[in-house]
Amino acid sequence: MLNTMDVGEFGGGTRFITMNEIFDDSISSRFRITLAKDFSKLILMTDGIYDPKFITENKLEDIESWKTFFDDLNGKNEDEAKVDFQNAETIDEQLLSDGFLEQGNHDDRTLAVIY
């Protein structure tokens, strides 16, 4: 899971971890360890989340794109839908609100947030 992004050769060219070519000699080069003394959130997401929010894979490395993403979570969106990470009981409902999910994007929407 916590590895370098794996994209297919073309749009829609998903590669799954069950495919034999995933487990070749280069697999160890895809993983890395980062030690952080403190962090506010660790976010893992599939393309169903990052495609509409970041548009391209390159923007996942752009700090301004992440600021926009967190602004969105904080209610700066069309519906002013805010995700309150202090209220864990309803966080799933907050993340499923129309304000966070982009209309017209129907790919797998998997999001894990550790905070």
- Residue 65's pLDDT is 93
Residues of the chain scoring pLDDT < 50: 1
- Residue 95's pLDDT is 80
* pLDDT tens digit sequence for 5-28: 666 565 556 666 677 766 666 666
Q: Which residues of 47-71 are buried (b: 16+ CB within 10 A; e: fewer)?
A: bbbbbbbbeeeeeeeeeebeeebee
How distant, in Å, are the alpha carbons of 10, 25, 66 from that of 97?
Answer: 31, 42, 20
Widest CA span in the chain: 47
- Residue 63's pLDDT is 93
- Residue 85's pLDDT is 87
**Residue for token pair 């599939």:** 46
